[in-house]
Amino acid sequence: MILNNGDSQSKLNSKRNRYFWFLGLSAIFALLIFHLNRLTLFTSDDYTYHFVYQGYLPTAHPKRINGLFSIVKSQINHWQLWNGRFVAHSIVQFFLQFKKVYFDVFNTLAYLTLMFLLLSISKVKEVVKITPVSYLLLFIFLWFYLPEIGKSVLWVSGSGNYLWTSVIYLTYFKCIISIANREISNLKGIGIMILGFLAGACNENSSPALLLMAFLYLIIHYPYKSKGTIFGLGSLFTGGLGFLLMIKSPGSQKRGGMALNFDVLKNNFRLILDSLIQNYWLIYILIIILLIILVIKKVQLSIETVSLLSILVIGHFASTFALVLSPETPKRTFFGAVLFIGIVLFSLINILNQRIRKSVFVISLLLMILFVQSYLSVNNDLTKSFKEVSNQYSILYDAPQNSDVMLPLLSTPKTDYNAYQLTSNVKTDPNDWFNRWMAVYFEKKTITGY
């Protein structure tokens, strides 16, 4: 009896220590991301989205966003005139009502939430527990593999379109996994259908891939008579409506037109394939190695786990090759694809964690060294841009209202962790769209770069 109590106490202490490690790592991760958020001030579309959207250029009487109704009005205009991503841009305009620091805090929490969702989905049936080392490895993985973190995580407008929408559609997918073949309340079912609608309207490539993943997951889970599965199938319908509402917006139709023919599709396919191989070859190799280790160690995976991992792989490639229909494919459009394949990778790592614990620990130490070097370099780059933009702000705040202001141009950023890399900023032409919006924001007559 004493031995049993001792074993129980040992397990309790181990669990408590694990929670402390998770809390400690979460605090460190939060500080690291929050610091970079603080160094990233407004750029490009951020100035436009401070106002009720009325067009590409400022109107005679621009109105600042102020409350829910102004956001709804702005998004209706935006849907009609520019593009249909009303979920993402509603998030952006909501935060742009307030001081930047509020966004920085909640954006950091969104990043931690994304990590939680990835770990939660990767905790498949064969995983006994998620270790702090896996948590650390996931943070490092996202740091090196999330595309253009400056424009997909730190930039307000970019974060709304990629980080925040990924939290929405992964939450939806997590719900689909949890309700399949289960009885749920009508209220929860309706909530999932609403979430499905939002997930379907997040963006043009990750949303349809996610809906495909949800469909495949539900279709292989019998019986269809359970309330969970029925509401899940219903959420696919609402998700499809959300997707159609997004891509069929008049603004998207005007801007996204592209002459499609076999040569264009073939060229786009080749570009995407080359990009996948160039950027993610190491992930593919690691997954193959881990699968070989599973075979060598004679680890048997359940049909449910094999199905889930297969669906995630399908989602990874579906979200990328859907871009063959897009006129442009910036790196950040691969955001969802990285998350889907990342879940596959970390599911396998978590399954094998106890069997290859020493190797994982050594690799973690080496990756920590690489991360610290990278973070310090990024910090220097962002700090330089922060000082330059802060200097622009000081000049603007000191200048009289409705005056003509000359601003020094920003130097070229060195890393794609910098939101100012390849995003619009002050130009030498005072009639440039960015200069005009920045002038409206700071209540100046004109802004000219030199």
Cβ neighbours, 10 Å, residue 441? 19
Distances (CA, A) of 108 to 111, 169, 313, 444: 5, 18, 28, 32
- 109-167: per-residue pLDDT in tens? 999 999 999 999 999 999 888 999 999 999 999 999 999 999 999 999 999 999 999 99
* pLDDT score for 129: 87
pLDDT at res. 2: 47
pLDDT band with cut points at 50, 70 and 90 for residue 390: very high
Mean pLDDT value across residues 179-204? 94
Cα separation, 164 vs 85, whole angstroms = 12
> Per mean pLDDT, which range of 49-53, 277-281, 305-309, 350-354 is the poorest?
350-354
DSSP string, 373-390: HHHHHHHHHHHHHHHHHH
**Chain mean pLDDT for the chain:** 94
Asked if residue 49 lies in contact with residue 92, where contact means CB atoms within 8 angstroms, the answer is: yes
Residue 1 has pLDDT above 70, yes or no: no
The type of residue at 304 is E
246, 85 Cβ separation under 8 angstroms: yes
What integer pLDDT is reported at residue 251 of this predicted model? 84
Inter-CA distances, 285 with 220, 311, 336, 337, Å: 28, 19, 20, 16
Under the banding of pLDDT at 50, 70 and 90, the label for residue 332 is: very high
pLDDT per residue over 255-281, tens digit each?
A: 666 667 888 889 999 999 999 999 999
pLDDT at 423: 94
| Spatial separation of the C-alpha atoms in residues 353 and 360, rounded to whole Å | 7
